[in-house]
Amino acid sequence: MVAIKASRAFTNRPKIAKVEGAYHGVYDYAEVSQAPRPETWGSIDRPESVPLVHGTPASALGDVVIIPFNDPERAIAILDRHADDLACVLLDLMPHRVGLKPADPDFVTVIREWATRNGSLLVLDEVITFRTEHGGLQSRYDVTPDLTAIGKMIGGGFPVGAVVGRSEVMEVLNPRAKRVLFPHSGTFSANPISTTAGLVAMELFDEAAVARLNALADRAMKGIEAAIAESGVPACVTGGGSMFRVHMKPQPPRNFRESYLTPEENIRLKALLEHMFAEGFILINTCSATLSTPMTESEIDQLVAAFGRGFEKMAAGV
Ligand SMILES: Cc1ncc(COP(=O)(O)O)c(C=O)c1O
């Protein structure tokens, strides 16, 4: 929310663009088209701005432009139609609900160049992807965003969110400025417990810790892929860094529409989640996982074995 508002304050433009299906929090504008359905999402060349919450004002929908993930041509054609009004393009480099597949470097470059050319900002949402590399997932790309949103793990388990970026843009929040374009405060601002816990967590989550956790996720993904192959069920795994997601689809989905579950896939996913729960693993309803530093190979191997038994049951039609 703060990154979107800062973008508007800096550019004095009303609209934002975001990827169809991407989750960026509970701000009205951020949640537009977070969960559209085939009957509401419209044409892929002109995706509809679909409300998530009953009662979302039409004005909010009108100020959010929806682009498809990893589809540079279509995305640019859509952005071009709103070029003078867009404060920012909001992008998660590996959006969980879009399929947890890393963005293609070309897609990111094209969006970055478009934003620069058109006086719009590029805002990267690294609220969950920051864990992927010591410098965030963006360090794997040849990209410099104008703003980055981070949160979750940077609080070491305590509630926190932060926006960082180009000083010229951050200046809109400067409380010492003669005229503050974006005055900001709130219950969670400057919380000493969150910032202390976050500082310690960030000191401990050094390059070695990131590499160790990523290697564990790699082990999990390879193990789950092998279990899928052995069982022969139509499923696959996507992810990167220390996160992964299991799809009830034979091929990794490339965007939100491809990752959308058919009723039959939904039944199989629910059965797998229930099986995992019975085995002692609670997974989010998308069947995604984010590993944490206390984990070791032992927990990962137990997780993979539980998935394996789940796929076997599925193959046997149990
Ligand atoms: C990718 C992503 N972006 C944004 C958010 C929202 O963060 P906050 O609740 O701090 O606004 C979340 C939180 O779940 C998230 O996962």
Q: How confident is the model at residue 109 (pLDDT cuts 50, 70, 90)?
A: very high
Helix, strand or coil, per DSSP, at residue 308: helix
Same domain assignment for residues 144 and 274: no
Nearest atom in ligand 1 to the alpha carbon of residue 159 is 10
Give the end of a domain, one of 183, 204, 225: 204
pLDDT, one tens digit per residue, over 20-34 is 999 999 999 999 999
pLDDT, one tens digit per residue, over 241-256 is 999 999 999 999 999 9
Residue 263 class from Cβ within 10 Å (0-12 exposed, 13-18 middle, 19+ buried)? exposed
Same domain assignment for residues 16 and 161: yes
Q: Does an H or E element contain 149, and which?
A: strand 147-151
pLDDT at position 148 is 98
SS3 content of the chain, % helix, strand, coil (to 5): 45, 15, 40
Same domain assignment for residues 141 and 54: yes
Q: Whose CA is nearest to atom 8 of ligand 1?
A: 25
Same domain assignment for residues 24 and 133: yes
Q: How far is the centre of ligand 1, averaged over its atoms, from the C-alpha of 311 (Å)?
A: 31
pLDDT at position 217 is 98
Same domain assignment for residues 63 and 211: no
Nearest atom in ligand 1 to the alpha carbon of residue 161 is 10
How far lies 65's CA from each of 90, 112, 119, 153, 236, in Å?
Answer: 10, 16, 16, 29, 30
pLDDT at position 294 is 96
Q: How far apart are CA 150 and CA 16, in angstroms?
A: 19
Q: What is the DSSP letter of 53?
A: S
How many domains does the chain contain in total? 2
Q: Are strands 15-19 and 64-67 parallel, antiparallel or unpaired?
A: parallel
pLDDT at position 187 is 87
Phi, then psi, of 203 in degrees rounded to 5: -65, -40
pLDDT at position 188 is 83
- As given in the structure block, the two tokens for residue 256 are 């939100």
CATH for 13: 3.40.640.10
Give the end of a domain, one of 204, 221, 253: 204
Same domain assignment for residues 188 and 211: no
Give the end of a domain, one of 158, 175, 204: 204
Residues near 128 by beta carbon (within 8 Å), at least 6 away in sequence: 92, 96, 152, 243, 290
For ligand 1, whether the C-beta of 151 sits within 6 Å is: yes
pLDDT at position 181 is 97
What is the chain's mean pLDDT, rounded?
97
Q: How confident is the model at residue 190 (pLDDT cuts 50, 70, 90)?
A: confident
pLDDT mean over 189-201: 94
pLDDT mean over 287-295: 97
CB contact at 8 A, 86 and 15: yes
Q: Which range marks the domain in which residue 125 is found?
A: 2-204
pLDDT at position 318 is 79
Same domain assignment for residues 184 and 292: no
CATH for 284: 3.90.1150.10
